[in-house]
Amino acid sequence: MNKKIVTLDEFIIKSQKGHDDATGSLSRLLRDIGIASKIINREVNKAGLVNILGVEGSENSTGDMVQKLDIFANEKIIECLSMSGECAAIVSEENEDIIKLPSVNGKKAQYVLVMDPLDGSSNIDVNVSVGTIFGIYKRKSDASGEIELEDCIQTGLDLVASGYVLYGTSTILVYTTGSGVNGFTLDPSIGEFCLSHSDMKIPAAGNYYSVNQGYYLKFDLEMRRYIDHCSDLNLRLRYIGSMVSDIHRILFQGGIFLYPNTRKYPHGKLRLLYECNPMAMIVEQAGGKAITCGLERILAIPVTNIHQKATIAIGSPDMVDEMQKFVERYSAVNA
């Protein structure tokens, strides 16, 4: 007998029924993200065929070169979220400032979306996986007034939902609303995300470590010693250069992903608000851990700037704990 297919929309509606106080607003927002990611997926898949490839020539707010598909993904998500009126503002890697969305039919939007619309975009030209990362906050200020900066710079602990979409050999959307993590694979024949991985759990430890080992000599002593330890254990090094893809592997198979500080990036390279926090929420919800290389819990770091950076060590709980021991031991040696 065939197993019944559960689509993303069905799953979202069913999950909402478990919350008596739910208004349907968050559900609609999640469905809008699902629609936007199908459109992005279509463009990512045909990127080699149309003139949408290559560096556009401008720089984004954090100094990276902007590529055309980044812009497309950014615009598509903003457009999809603008139509239903559930989202009051968006913080995007591609925009220096907060994007305030106009009210739709006088609706008082309760949510703020933070996102990296296309993470790992330097992979596009070579046909390697990229992803979308998102986090959703409930605004703190009164929904009838103007959105404020404080609504957008909440800590990761305040996230009401987060997720990512990986445009890989197949396209998968993984999200959490704080009660477990579920993954939905896009079935191109029916154009629907279908539940493929329910209640995902990260292995307590695994055989993979993921770090840009080319920067080895630029890492602090404690990080070099920990990487030596991973190598001594014959762990497998895997580094795609797209955080979504690298962490996705670790979520499924166990391991640790590291982006430590270097001389070029003294505070790390990855962005706290829309890269580290959403991925940390997912990994923690799956039973993993996420801390900075200075051993702070990622989700608890105060956010002062929408484009703030953080170092990160994320993945299987036993491996993050072990990395922590190396930092404690070798930073004491340095002191």
Kindly report the length of the chain: 335
116: annotated active-site residue: yes
64: annotated active-site residue: yes
Question: With binding defined as CB under 6 A, does residue 119 bind ligand AHG?
Answer: yes
Q: Work out how close the CB of 139 gets to ligand AHG at its nearest, in angstroms, rounded to a whole number.
A: 27
Rule CB under 6 A: choose which of 145, 191, 241, 302 binds ligand AHG. 241
Question: With binding defined as CB under 6 A, does residue 85 bind ligand AHG?
Answer: no
Question: With binding defined as CB under 6 A, does residue 94 bind ligand AHG?
Answer: no
Rule CB under 6 A: choose which of 9, 64, 158, 322 binds ligand AHG. 64
3-state secondary structure of 153: coil
Question: With binding defined as CB under 6 A, does residue 34 bind ligand AHG?
Answer: no
The angle subtended at Cα 94 by Cα 41 and Cα 139, nearest 5°, is 95
Q: How many residues bind ligand AHG (CB under 6 A)?
A: 10
Rule CB under 6 A: choose which of 28, 249, 269, 309 binds ligand AHG. 269
Backbone φ and ψ for 55, nearest 5 degrees, come out as: -75, 130
Catalytic residue among 9, 10, 43, 64: 64
Question: Any idea what DSSP says for residue 297?
Answer: B
232: annotated active-site residue: no
Q: What is the Rg, in whole angstroms, of the alpha carbon atoms belonging to the chain? A: 19
Q: Work out how close the CB of 161 gets to ligand AHG at its nearest, in angstroms, rounded to a whole number.
A: 21
Angle of helix 8-17 versus helix 25-45 axis, rounded to 10: 160
Region at 287 (left for phi over 0; alpha for psi -120 to 50; beta for the rest): left
Using the minimum distance from each CB to ligand AHG, give the nearer residue, 212 or 324: 212
Q: Work out how close the CB of 215 gets to ligand AHG at its nearest, in angstroms, rounded to a whole number.
A: 7
Count the alpha carbons within 13 Å of 230 in the hemisphere toward its beta carbon. Answer: 28
Q: Work out how close the CB of 170 gets to ligand AHG at its nearest, in angstroms, rounded to a whole number.
A: 20
Residue for token pair 């996102």: 115
Q: Structure tokens of 21?
A: 């106080």
CB 301 within 8 A of CB 292: yes
Question: With binding defined as CB under 6 A, does residue 156 bind ligand AHG?
Answer: no
Distance CA 210, CA 120 (A): 15
Rule CB under 6 A: choose which of 242, 285, 292, 311 binds ligand AHG. 242
- Positions marked catalytic: 64, 70, 93-94, 116, 118-119, 275
Residue ranges binding ligand AHG (CB under 6 A): 64, 119-122, 212, 241-243, 269
